[in-house]
Amino acid sequence: MPHDPATYDDDRELTAYIWRNYRTLLTPLESLADKALMAEFKAEHSSPRMAKTIRERWGSKDDPDVVAALADGPEIFRDRVRDRVLCECSDEVILNRCSQCSRLVATPLAQQCLWCGHDWHSKDT
């Protein structure tokens, strides 16, 4: 079932696409900061005892570089990483866009648009 095209935001979708498909291109610091964000999310949805354990093991709150990377908030951090990946690793990134609506599809190998429903599986040319 297609997503609602009215909710499409190319900037937001581009960030999500890079994070979903190209985590292998993160620097070690970006990976640590990402792990800290995930740990914080899990900790916020856990019991106080489990939250303490999660933050101690995965949070990297004491790492000044991680703290600095996340200082402007998670969205700004993710956008900066997206921009760096697109700039520094452009030869490794495939932006797969639908030929009908030009929106980003889910993965670099996807053959169906979740926005307009266009399907290009097994198209004979």
Answer left, alpha or beta for residue 104, where phi above 0 means left and psi between -120 and 50 means alpha. beta
pLDDT category, 87, cuts 50, 70, 90? very high
Position 19 pLDDT exceeds 80: yes
Which single residue is written with the structure tokens 């790492």? 63
What is residue 125's predicted lDDT score, i.e. its pLDDT? 46
Q: What is the Cβ-side half-sphere exposure of residue 43, based on CA atoms within 13 angstroms?
A: 18
User: pTM for the full model?
Assistant: 0.85
Q: Which residues pair with 10 in a beta bridge?
A: none
What are 96-117's pLDDT values in tens digits?
999 999 999 999 999 999 999 9
* H, E, C per residue of 65-101: HHHHHCCCCHHHHHHHHHHHHHHHCCCCCCCCECCCC
Q: Is residue 112 a contact partner of residue 120, using CB atoms and an 8 Å limit? A: yes
Q: What is the distance of C-alpha 15 from the center of its chain?
A: 5
Q: Give the span between the Cα atoms of 26 and 117, in whole angstroms.
A: 31
Q: How far is CA 78 from CA 17, 31, 45, 48, 55, in A?
A: 11, 11, 21, 27, 20
What is residue 55's predicted lDDT score, i.e. its pLDDT? 85
pLDDT category, 124, cuts 50, 70, 90? low
What are 53-86's pLDDT values in tens digits?
988 888 777 799 999 999 999 999 999 999 999 9
Position 1 pLDDT exceeds 60: no
What are 25-49's pLDDT values in tens digits?
999 999 999 999 999 999 999 999 9
Q: How far is CA 123 from CA 37, 50, 118, 120, in A?
A: 41, 51, 12, 6
